[in-house]
Amino acid sequence: MESPFGKHILAEYFECGCTFLDSEPAIRNLMLEAASRSGATVVGDIFHHFSPQGVTGVVVVAESHLAIHTWPEFGYASVDLFTCGTRVDPWIGFEYIKKELQSKRCVSKEIARGDMEEEPGSLLEAASG
Amino acid sequence: MESPFGKHILAEYFECGCTFLDSEPAIRNLMLEAASRSGATVVGDIFHHFSPQGVTGVVVVAESHLAIHTWPEFGYASVDLFTCGTRVDPWIGFEYIKKELQSKRCVSKEIARGDMEEEPGSLLEAASG
């Protein structure tokens, strides 16, 4: 069932063969293009380069947000693609990012936001008042 | 074990009794304060009010990001608190947001980023090359 609120893809891109994990302009372009290809409408974005290395950035879209954090020293990037509505397909963005980062190994998980259930044995609270 | 990359809390706040779910300045203040209380260093932020209602916003911090999307018509907000390092405690931000939103029911999940495993039976790809 479609979540009433949103579809959230958490993605881990390991063993990235691309050369731009530490480039703020290149990572920004990557994420804006991923948003666009997914069918999302960009509202704004904010990107930041860290010293000595690493890029963090978020693209706010009318349908929620996309976020990335890169660890160039590990060839790793974590990405979130959170979209709502049926018009947008975040998996297109996921595949585009995977290809551009030249990730040899990636792990992903889709979570229906607004319909999340606690996992059995979770340490975390549920239905707290 | 601590993830080498980050701790990501996904939170769903239902039945929010507060009156400011549709106020961009109030939601922005809430998230900036949550970042600060968690011990994070704010790098920048971007917030947006949607028509007819709803607020989306992201606070980029030196330790990753915090994001919120509100659906005032459902008394609901989805929040992400993604932080790295041991100096920051996103659970403090989680509790602060819960209290301020006056959420009567919330569900949360913590995911170790960079160490995520596919769930058995997941529809999603893993270790694709």
Q: Which residues from B are below 8 Å from A13, CB to CB?
A: none
- Work out whether the CA dihedral A27, A56, B10, A65 comes out positive or negative: negative
How many C-beta atoms surround the C-beta of residue B52 within 10 A? 7
Residue with tokens 């980050």: B6
- C-alpha span between B40 and B51 (Å, rounded): 31
Average the pLDDT over B25-37 and give the result: 98
- The encoded tokens of residue B129 equal 């090359």
Q: What is the pLDDT of residues A52-101, one digit of tens each?
A: 999 999 999 999 999 999 999 999 999 999 999 889 999 999 999 999 99
Q: How many CB pairs under 8 A join A and B?
A: 142
A-chain residue closest to B45, CA distance:
A46
pTM (2 d.p.): 0.89
Q: What is the pLDDT of residues B95-110, one digit of tens each?
A: 999 999 999 999 999 9
Residue A33 has pLDDT above 50, yes or no: yes
- C-alpha span between A19 and B77 (Å, rounded): 37
A10 and B116 within 8 Å at the Cβ level: the answer is yes
A69 and B50 within 8 Å at the Cβ level: the answer is no
From B3, B23, B36, B69, the catalytic residue: B69
- Considering CB atoms only, which of A8, A122, A128 is closest to B106? A128
The minimum CA-CA distance between A5 and chain B, rounded to whole Å, is 8
Q: Is A18 a catalytic residue?
A: no
